[in-house]
């Protein structure tokens, strides 16, 4: 018979936590991202009814199924346009997008460019493990040049994409990087992102224990360093410079850039409450029709 | 009585302005209007024309040749001999060797009339006098958005042209209040009447007019119109909005629809109501961007991988585009399925004077479950219609919207039985939709021996052809399908008892609807009339083809 199990909500104080089985590999960096999201949402005083988790397809994109909150699990690469429509319909919910590096920067690259421009009000957590997980080990847009994969037998032929530099150049209003192996840092960053009004990107470095033999937990651990406290997050040029640092010269984690700018819905001032709350009836168009008589 | 005016020239020379003034003022004076834009895919230049049919009775299609031809440039002037009927009149700045010409030469025009639009506006004036419009109505030749000097010189030129006319043919008639509206506007208005809140799309001819009209009324209607980065985002944003409780829609033409198909399946499996308007143009690929064809039907009824329930509706007329679009939203909500509205460039760019839409006859049915429910199952396998909730509809329920095979709560499963139950639900939905589908419109003689089959916009020209054939003593009738998919197996039964000779009429080469009809009902057509040159059907074309078929039969 069909397994009709609802998400098993864990009986503790945090209503977001479930003990549903995941399809992630043991030791996967996704677990600590999930735990961190749960923890921050709880600490922010939100309820599951206040939150909409949006995703595309991939191992990271399964996350909405493992958290007790509203979910919208769409198609590969398409989380952001769905998030945009959802936000247009009801901007009273807190929105988080969780997706992988392939989902966000590959299949969904065009949507990433344009929804950063829209300054959607959301937290976009990219589980960046520099490899394709669900399709079993092909190169992703962030895999290093020359790195051998289960498809690129002689190594990657393309330069890797630099997500944080790209985001800064696009005018993303909150650009941060974090590491799944440092839950404290990750939680601090997610909290700051949730408090930001506008598009908050967090590129989370995360080991893929099954398919990325180069960018391991140890590899990241040896390279990540917290951005100096005197870094001016409002200095776009400095932020862009800092965003160039990656790999053996170290991986800066923390908030690289932040600016205040009207969000997507703030730029549509004629809608002064959630769109879903407007009451509509057929006669609403009579004013338009009457003008067509003349 | 009916007369056809053709206004021809290059893009940017004022064809649309001339057309707008003529049809607005003639409509106001008691004429029925049907006009159609024939234009090239370019911003300036080329050869474009608008055809305006003016009649005392409702008009459903254009004619190929005009009674009056306004030539806005030399190329148009030369083509007048082809595009005019034998006794037609040319209005031109030059004399024509073979055609009777109303000459408005530059030399003749008084100084105060000689503006940029002088010839075009003088032609408008002449036409209005010809149709018996009283001089006081010339004041309607103003556009609030234009500078007063422009309006003044336009009026002066029109008045001069008006005074030059001596021929008159007044066949206007007392008419109830009517609106002038084109197919794209009718779709937009139908959506607004249904409570559309969010429209996201990427510009593509000939569908852009829907978005433009909605955008122009965005604030007044309290809606959001979002131009997306591509069609994939256009449809996905609409699904995102709809899954969060508002009525949402996207629109495009065939090429854009091709990009949307993955999300069409997502809408279906996530059981999210969605309305998509595909304004067809000739394909494949870029095809003929600004021309017309009915060749996306076979694609649309099968688009996207896998099997799922969907509805495809093809409005018959501009008026029907309004009511059908309204109905599309109720159907989408009732069955939680994607509904594709298939119009085409002909319908999109046809303007008709029609009775004002009766919004009081409409109601918006959402089929929602507003109150909290114990153990709510968003994807209850037995819920064929209704019962939908979205995030925030009540203060308790948590909603998961999902693209996989899922359990009744929306969570991913690979269970065999769940897979079958979900599929069975979609199939039951198709059955329910078939039962609810609107029967085709029947028109013609009750003792018909020939039965024409059509779908969508082909109805207009076919209706006029059938009316003329009946006048000529032929025993013919037509069926026009607006609910084109899915079809019930018995839908043709009421029309076959007299074993009519069936002629399938479609704006494509492959008889796509005929094939679907045959597949679903087993009914075959004996002959077909097809048009796939990018131009719309006319009654004359259909009558000539009918003659050919009949001659072929008698051999």
Which region holds residue A209: left if phi is over 0, alpha if psi is between -120 and 50, else beta?
alpha
**Shortest CA distance from A286: residue in chain B:** B359
User: Model confidence over A213-222: pLDDT tens digits?
Assistant: 999 999 999 9
B169 occurs within a structural domain: no
pLDDT recorded at residue B555 = 59
Cβ <8 Å between A3 and B326: no
Cβ <8 Å between A92 and B179: no
Q: Which of A65-79, A134-148, B110-124, B449-463 has the lowest mean pLDDT?
A: B110-124
Nearest by Cα to A49 from A15, A85, A6: A15
Cβ <8 Å between A88 and B232: no
The answer on pLDDT for A232 being more than 70 is: yes
Name which residue leads in pLDDT, A1 or B415.
Answer: B415
B71 occurs within a structural domain: yes
What's phi and psi for B267, nearest 5 deg?
-55, -40
Residues of A in contact with B239 (CB under 8 A): 74, 82, 85
Beta bridge partners of A203: A126, A177
Whose tokens are 């960046």? That residue is A128
Residues B207, B141 share a domain: no
pLDDT recorded at residue B202 = 98
Closest Cα in chain B, distance from residue A119 (Å): 14
B394 occurs within a structural domain: no
pLDDT recorded at residue A3 = 41
**Shortest CA distance from B362: residue in chain A:** A282
Cβ <8 Å between B391 and A92: no
Cβ <8 Å between A293 and B363: no
Residues B157, B195 share a domain: no
Cα B26 versus chain centre, distance: 22
> How many DSSP H helices and E strands does chain B contain?
15, 21
SS (H, E, C) B394-463: CCCCCCEEECCCECCCCCECCCHHHHHHHHHHHHHHHHHHHHHCCCCEEEECCCCCEEEEEEHHHHHHHH
Residues B275, B229 share a domain: yes
Residues of A in contact with B363 (CB under 8 A): 282
Residues B138, B207 share a domain: no
Contact A90, A22 (CB under 8 A): no
Closest CB to B359: pick one of A78, A92, A285. A285
**Residue B19: which domain range?**
2-164
Give residue A10's pLDDT band: very low, low, confident or very high (50, 70, 90): low
B412 occurs within a structural domain: no
Residues of A in contact with B244 (CB under 8 A): 52, 72, 85-86, 89-90, 276
**Greatest pairwise CA separation for chain A in angstroms:** 75
The answer on pLDDT for B306 being more than 80 is: yes
Cβ <8 Å between A114 and B229: yes
The answer on pLDDT for A102 being more than 90 is: yes
For the question of an ipTM over 0.85, the answer is yes
Closest CB to A276: pick one of B239, B240, B245. B245
Please state, rounded to an integer, the average pLDDT across all residues of chain B: 96
Closest Cα in chain B, distance from residue A245 (Å): 31
Residues B352, B452 share a domain: no
Residues B238, B99 share a domain: no
Mutate to test the interface with B, among A1, A2, A284 (most CBs of B within 10 A): A2
User: Model confidence over B308-325: pLDDT tens digits?
Assistant: 999 999 999 999 999 999
Show which of B164, B193, B208 is a domain's final residue.
B164
Cβ <8 Å between A75 and B262: yes
Q: Which of B167-176, B344-353, B441-450 has the lowest mean pLDDT?
A: B167-176
B379 occurs within a structural domain: no
Q: How many domains does chain B have?
A: 3
Residues B203, B158 share a domain: no
Say what the pTM is.
Answer: 0.96
pLDDT recorded at residue A225 = 98
Name the CATH code of domain A30-293 (choices 3.40.50.1260, 3.30.1330.60, 3.40.50.970, 1.10.240.10): 3.40.50.970
Give residue B177's pLDDT band: very low, low, confident or very high (50, 70, 90): confident
Q: What does the domain layout of chain A look like in residue ranges?
A: 30-293
B392 occurs within a structural domain: no
Task: Tell me how crowded residue B59 is: count the other CB atoms within 10 A of its CB.
Answer: 23
pLDDT recorded at residue B234 = 98
Cβ <8 Å between B403 and A74: yes
Residues B277, B228 share a domain: yes
Cβ <8 Å between A283 and B360: yes
Give one DSSP letter per residue of B358-389, joined into a string: -GGG------B--S--TT--TT-TT--S--B-
Mutate to test the interface with A, among B241, B263, B356 (most CBs of A within 10 A): B241
Give residue A8's pLDDT band: very low, low, confident or very high (50, 70, 90): low
pLDDT recorded at residue B168 = 86
Cβ <8 Å between B244 and A282: no
B63 occurs within a structural domain: yes
Show which of B328, B343, B361 is a domain's final residue.
B361
Give one DSSP letter per residue of B66-135, joined into a string: EEEEEESSHHHHHHHHHHEEEEEEEEESS--SSSEEEE--TTTS-GGG-STTHHHHHHHHHHHHHTT--G
Give residue B300's pLDDT band: very low, low, confident or very high (50, 70, 90): very high
In sign, the C-alpha dihedral spanning B214, B219, B224, B230 is positive
The mean pLDDT of B465-490, rounded to a whole number, is: 98
What's phi and psi for B437, nearest 5 deg?
-60, 145
How deeply is A183 buried, as exposed, middle or buried, from its count of CB atoms within 10 A (0-12, 13-18, 19+)?
Answer: middle
Residues of A in contact with B261 (CB under 8 A): none
Show which of B361, B380, B406 is a domain's final residue.
B361
The answer on pLDDT for B383 being more than 80 is: yes
What's phi and psi for B271, nearest 5 deg?
55, 45
The answer on pLDDT for A7 being more than 60 is: no
Q: Using CA atoms, how far apart are residues B103 and B108, in angstroms rounded to an integer? A: 9
Residues B66, B91 share a domain: yes
The answer on pLDDT for B534 being more than 90 is: yes
Contact B130, B151 (CB under 8 A): no
Residues B346, B203 share a domain: yes
Closest Cα in chain B, distance from residue A267 (Å): 11
Mutate to test the interface with A, among B403, B412, B417, B419 (most CBs of A within 10 A): B403
User: Model confidence over B385-427: pLDDT tens digits?
Assistant: 999 999 999 999 999 999 999 999 999 999 999 999 999 999 9
Residues of A in contact with B33 (CB under 8 A): none
Q: What CATH number is associated with residue B184?
A: 3.40.50.970
Cβ <8 Å between B404 and A5: no
Q: Which of A270-284, B149-163, B513-527 has the lowest mean pLDDT?
A: B149-163
Residues of A in contact with B218 (CB under 8 A): 270
Cβ <8 Å between A292 and B222: no
The answer on pLDDT for A2 being more than 50 is: no
Residues B249, B186 share a domain: yes
pLDDT recorded at residue A9 = 57
B242 occurs within a structural domain: yes
Residues B330, B451 share a domain: no
Q: Using CA atoms, how far apart are residues B456 and B90, in angstroms rounded to an integer? A: 34
The answer on pLDDT for B334 being more than 90 is: yes
Residue pairs between chains A and B whose CB atoms are closer than 8 Å: 218
């Amino acid at each position: 018979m069909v397994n009709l199990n609802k998400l098993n909500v864990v009986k503790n104080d945090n209503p977001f936590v479930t003990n549903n089985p995941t399809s992630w590999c043991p030791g996967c960096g996704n677990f600590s991202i999930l735990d961190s999201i749960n923890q921050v949402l709880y600490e922010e005083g939100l309820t599951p009814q206040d939150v909409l988790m949006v995703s595309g397809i991939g191992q990271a994109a399964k996350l909405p199924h493992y958290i007790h909150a509203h979910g919208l699990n769409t198609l590969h690469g398409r989380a952001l346009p769905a998030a945009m429509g959802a936000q247009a319909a009801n901007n009273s919910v807190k929105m988080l997008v969780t997706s992988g590096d392939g989902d966000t920067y590959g299949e969904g690259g065009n949507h990433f460019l344009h929804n950063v421009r829209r300054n959607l009000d959301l937290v976009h957590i990219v589980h960046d493990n520099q490899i394709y997980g669900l399709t079993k080990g092909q190169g992703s847009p962030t895999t290093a040049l020359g790195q051998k994969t289960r498809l690129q037998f002689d190594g990657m032929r393309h330069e890797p994409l630099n997500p944080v530099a790209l985001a800064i150049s696009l005018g993303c209003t909150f650009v941060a990087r974090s590491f799944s192996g440092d839950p404290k840092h990750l939680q601090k960053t997610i909290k700051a992102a949730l408090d930001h009004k506008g598009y908050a990107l967090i590129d989370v470095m995360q080991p893929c224990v099954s398919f990325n033999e180069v960018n391991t937990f140890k590899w990241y651990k040896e390279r990540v360093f917290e951005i100096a406290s005197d870094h001016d997050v409002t200095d776009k040029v400095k932020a862009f410079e800092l965003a160039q640092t990656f790999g053996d010269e170290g991986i800066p984690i923390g908030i690289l850039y932040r600016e205040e700018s009207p969000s997507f819905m703030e730029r549509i001032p004629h809608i002064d409450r959630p769109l879903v709350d407007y009451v509509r009836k057929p006669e609403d168009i009579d004013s338009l029709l009457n003008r067509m008589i003349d | 009585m009916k007369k056809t005016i053709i206004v021809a020239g290059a893009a940017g020379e004022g064809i649309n302005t001339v057309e707008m003034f003529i049809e607005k003022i003639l409509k106001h004076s008691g004429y029925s209007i049907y006009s159609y834009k024939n234009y090239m895919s370019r911003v300036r230049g080329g050869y474009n024309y608008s055809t305006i049919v003016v009649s005392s009775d409702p008009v459903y299609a254009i004619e190929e040749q005009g009674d009056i031809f306004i030539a806005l440039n030399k190329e148009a002037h030369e083509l007048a001999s082809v595009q005019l009927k034998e006794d037609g009149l040319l209005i031109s700045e030059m004399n024509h060797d073979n055609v009777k010409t109303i000459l408005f030469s530059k030399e003749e025009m008084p100084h105060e009339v000689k503006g940029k639009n002088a010839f075009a506006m003088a032609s408008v004036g002449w036409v209005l006098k010809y149709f018996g419009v009283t001089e006081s109505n010339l004041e309607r030749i103003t556009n609030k958005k234009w500078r007063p000097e422009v309006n003044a010189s336009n009026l002066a030129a029109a008045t001069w042209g008006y005074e030059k006319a001596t021929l008159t043919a007044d066949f206007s008639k007392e008419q109830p209040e009517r609106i002038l509206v084109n197919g794209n506007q009718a779709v937009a208005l139908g959506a607004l009447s249904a409570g559309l809140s969010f429209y996201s799309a990427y510009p593509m001819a000939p569908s852009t007019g829907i978005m433009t009209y909605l955008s122009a009324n965005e604030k007044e209607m309290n809606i959001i119109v979002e131009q997306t980065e591509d069609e994939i985002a256009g449809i996905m944003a609409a699904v995102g909005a709809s899954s969060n409780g508002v009525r949402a829609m996207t629109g495009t033409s065939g090429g854009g629809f091709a990009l949307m198909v993955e999300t069409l399946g997502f809408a279906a499996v996530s059981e999210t109501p969605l309305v998509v308007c595909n304004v067809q143009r000739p394909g494949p690929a870029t095809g003929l961007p600004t021309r017309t064809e009915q060749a996306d039907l076979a694609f649309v009824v099968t688009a996207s991988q896998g099997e799922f329930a969907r509805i495809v509706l093809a409005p018959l007329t501009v008026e029907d585009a309004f009511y059908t679009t309204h109905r599309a939203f109720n159907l989408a909500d009732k069955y939680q399925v994607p509904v594709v509205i298939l119009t085409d460039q002909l319908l999109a760019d046809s303007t008709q004077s029609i009775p004002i839409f009766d919004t009081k006859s409409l109601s918006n049915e959402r089929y929602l479950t507003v109150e909290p429910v114990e153990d709510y199952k968003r994807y209850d396998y037995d819920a064929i219609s209704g019962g939908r909730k979205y995030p925030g509809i009540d203060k308790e329920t948590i909603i998961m919207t999902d693209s996989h095979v899922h359990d009744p709560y929306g969570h991913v499963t690979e269970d065999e039985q769940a897979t079958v139950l979900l599929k069975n639900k979609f199939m039951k939905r198709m059955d329910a939709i078939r039962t609810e589908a609107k029967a085709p419109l029947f028109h013609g003689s009750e003792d018909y021996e020939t039965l024409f089959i059509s779908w969508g916009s082909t109805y207009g020209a076919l209706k006029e052809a059938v009316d003329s054939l009946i006048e000529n003593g032929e025993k013919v009738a037509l069926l026009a399908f607006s609910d084109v998919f899915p079809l019930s197996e018995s839908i043709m039964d009421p029309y076959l008892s007299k074993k009519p000779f069936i002629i399938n009429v479609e704006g494509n080469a492959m008889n796509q609807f005929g094939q679907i009809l045959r597949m679903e009902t087993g009914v075959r057509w004996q002959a077909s009339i097809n048009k796939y040159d990018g131009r719309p059907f006319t009654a004359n074309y259909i009558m000539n083809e009918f003659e050919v078929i009949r001659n072929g039969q008698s051999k």
